[in-house]
Amino acid sequence: MTGRPPVVPVQGTTRLYAVLGDPVAQVQAPALMNPVFVELGIDALVVPVHARPHHLETVVRGLQRVENLDGMFVTVPHKAAVRGLADRCGPAVAIAGSANVLRREADGSWLAENFDGSGFVTGLVGAGLDPRGSRAALVGAGGAGSAIAAALLAAGVDRLSLYDTDTAKLTALAARLDGHWPGRVHTLSGPRLRDADLAVNATPLGLRADDPLPFPLQDLAPGCAVADIIMKPRETRLLREAAARGHRIHHGIHMLEGQLNSYRAFFDLR
């Protein structure tokens, strides 16, 4: 992706996708998806839709009745609220408690899904870090962390160790996950790092240069890969120091790139 907006054709036959946010100026879905439409020869377009929280229902209800609108991407702060505006929710939504995409089904109903987690896993697999059968440690039980936790379990991690400073949030997530994948989720007073194959930061720590590290690197086994979901800066302090210690690192951008494949599959774009 470059800093220049992608250039796309628009005509009366063009199908639409909305990306809903408040604000919306920062959204990457047009830059991510519109070149895919051009590349695939699909006459479709992602447009930004700025919806205030108190108007979200009115806007979504309207968009759902636009005959040539096939889907919506959903970003901050609408990911939780938009669940209630879908007719059905996919499994990742129930576990993560939030959705980041809606699709018009063949019968005209709307299905919500969440690809934050599967996008992360797709990115891992694409980088040769298939988590199947491995032991993972995840720090951060918020929206993204929850989705990633579920996706890692769905992808077959053997044991997922969870940590968050918000104990109530941590316990609630662990309970939801344990209902689906019993016995594979562990919560501790700190992340269990010593025997992890993969350590993931799903907290905002690292967005700012003076943030503390989300977890201590000296506890990691030498073979442990370290992943961050922060995209800006591309190289967080966590990743920089992990690389210096000889760990394999995995950048935040891969989660977004991994979602591209999920979106293509979800919307049947080919």
Q: Which is nearer to a second copy, 104 or 250 (CB)?
A: 104
> Does the footprint of a second copy cover residue 244 (CB under 8 A)?
no
Q: How far is the CB of 167 from a second copy (least distance, A)?
A: 36
Task: Decide: 55 and 110 in contact? Cβ < 8 Å.
Answer: no
Which residues are catalytic, by number? Answer: 79
Give 130-134 contacts, CB < 8 A, sequence gap 24+: 130/155, 131/155, 131/156, 131/157, 131/197, 131/198, 132/156, 132/157, 133/157, 133/158, 134/158, 134/197, 134/198
The interface region with a second copy, picked from 52-60, 145-153, 169-177, 240-248 by CB under 8 A, is 52-60
> Does the footprint of a second copy cover residue 55 (CB under 8 A)?
yes
> Does the footprint of a second copy cover residue 102 (CB under 8 A)?
no
Residues 62-101 binding a second copy (CB under 8 A) are 62-63, 65-69
> Does the footprint of a second copy cover residue 11 (CB under 8 A)?
yes
Residues 19-38 binding a second copy (CB under 8 A) are 19, 21-22, 24-28, 30-31, 34
Task: Decide: 234 and 243 in contact? Cβ < 8 Å.
Answer: no
Q: 78: buried, middle or exposed (CB in 10 Å: 19+, 13-18, 0-12)?
A: buried
Rounded Cα–Cα distance for residues 29 and 17 (Å) = 10
Residues in touch with a second copy (CB under 8 A): 4-14, 16, 19, 21-22, 24-28, 30-31, 34, 45-52, 55, 58-63, 65-69
